[in-house]
Amino acid sequence: MNMHLKKALLIGLSFLSLNAYSDTAASKEALALQCRQLADTVASLVYSQEKKACVEKLALAAMQIEDAADFILDDAYPPAKLELDHAVYTLQYAELNSCNRYIQISHSKFEAQKLKNSL
């Protein structure tokens, strides 16, 4: 009787472990996808800019967010957080520099911050 209980417990724990792993993988994929979508959004803001500094900062932020997605897929969460942190500061610079489409830039900064906090 005791042996059957141990086997059942072992099988149950194995199942839970595999289930948790698949949830983590799905979550990782979802986070990376959100990063890629945000990077695309930020990149689309580049074309409406008149100032060279705005173009450069928004292009840099898009690249940083894209890099964060790659780090997430590689399970390298500290570098992903760092890239998102840099993107937040870069977007903040674009906000303070009075770049065109302020509301979209501000919202993108907020989304990057949310992604960073979810890691």
First to last CA, the chain: 44
Q: What is the pTM of this model?
A: 0.79
How much is the pLDDT for 52?
A: 97
Close Cβ partners of 36 (under 8 Å, ≥ 6 residues apart): 65, 66, 69
Q: Identify whether the C-beta of residue 112 lies closer than 8 Å to the C-beta of residue 65.
A: yes
> What tens-digit pLDDT sequence spans the chain (119 residues)?
555 555 554 455 455 444 444 455 669 999 999 999 999 999 999 999 999 999 999 999 999 999 999 999 999 999 999 999 999 999 999 999 999 999 999 999 999 999 999 99
